[in-house]
Amino acid sequence: MPDPEVFVDPPDPDPVNIRRRDHVIELGGRFKEAIFEKKVKKYYFHEKVSYGFKEALDEENEYITNSYGYRGPEFKSDLDILAIGCSQTYGIGVPEEGTWPAFLAKKTGMSYANLSAPGASIEWLVHSTFSYVHEFGPPKIIAALFPDFFRMEIVMNSDINQSRTVSMRDWNAQGIDPSFTKGVITSSSIDPDLKWRAKLSKRPFPIEDTVPAEEPIFRSFKLIMMLERYCEALGIELLWSGWSDDVSRFLVEYEGTDYYPNYAFNCWGLHEWESHFREIPKTKDDPEGIKDRKIVHDPANASCMLLEEDVESSNSDVYCTCVVDCHSEYIDQFSDSFYHGTDRHTRGLGNSHMGVHKHLHIADDFYDKLVERGAI
155-168: pLDDT as tens digits: 877 778 877 765 54
Please check whether residue 321 is in contact with residue 293, taking contact to mean a CB–CB distance below 8 angstroms: yes
Please check whether residue 163 is in contact with residue 169, taking contact to mean a CB–CB distance below 8 angstroms: no
Q: Is residue 231 part of a domain?
A: yes
- How far is residue 206 CA from its own chain's centroid? 23
- DSSP class of residue 62 equals -
- Digitized pLDDT (tens) for each residue of the chain, 376 residues in all: 444 444 455 667 788 888 988 888 877 777 787 788 899 988 765 554 445 566 677 888 988 899 999 999 999 999 999 999 999 999 999 999 999 999 999 999 999 999 999 889 999 999 999 999 999 999 999 999 999 999 988 887 777 887 776 554 454 555 545 554 556 677 788 888 888 788 888 888 888 888 999 999 999 999 999 999 999 999 999 999 999 888 888 998 999 999 999 999 998 766 555 545 555 556 666 666 666 665 555 666 665 655 454 444 444 444 455 666 788 899 999 999 998 889 888 876 667 888 898 899 999 999 999 999 999 9
The helix-helix angle for 356-372 and 100-108 (nearest 10°) equals: 40
Q: Count the neighbouring beta carbons within 10 Å of the beta carbon of residue 250.
A: 20
Q: Is residue 249 part of a domain?
A: yes
Tell me if residue 281 falls in helix, strand or coil: coil
Looking at residue 309, its pLDDT comes to 47
* Contacts with 144 (C-beta within 8 Å, 6 or more apart), sequence order: 83, 84, 85, 125, 227, 238, 239, 240, 241
Please check whether residue 141 is in contact with residue 370, taking contact to mean a CB–CB distance below 8 angstroms: yes
Q: 348: left (phi > 0), else alpha (psi -120 to 50), else beta?
A: left
Looking at residue 186, its pLDDT comes to 74
Element (H, E) at 142: strand 141-146
Element (H, E) at 135: helix 122-136
The helix-helix angle for 122-136 and 214-234 (nearest 10°) equals: 20
Cα four-point dihedral sign 119, 121, 122, 126? negative
Please check whether residue 248 is in contact with residue 272, taking contact to mean a CB–CB distance below 8 angstroms: yes
* Contacts with 249 (C-beta within 8 Å, 6 or more apart), sequence order: none
Q: Is residue 50 part of a domain?
A: yes
The DSSP-derived string for 215-262 is HHHHHHHHHHHHHHHHHHHHT-EEEEEESSHHHHHHHHHTTTSTTS-T
Q: Is residue 287 part of a domain?
A: no
Q: Is residue 6 part of a domain?
A: no
Q: Is residue 112 part of a domain?
A: yes
Domain extent for 160? 16-272+363-372
Element (H, E) at 82: strand 81-85
Pairing of strands 237-242, 174-175: unpaired
Q: Is residue 308 part of a domain?
A: no
Number of domains in the chain: 1
What does the alpha-carbon distance between residue 275 and residue 233 come to, in Å, rounded to a whole number? Answer: 38
**260-281 pLDDT per residue, tens:** 999 999 987 665 555 455 555 5
Q: Is residue 171 part of a domain?
A: yes
Q: Count the neighbouring beta carbons within 10 Å of the beta carbon of residue 67.
A: 8
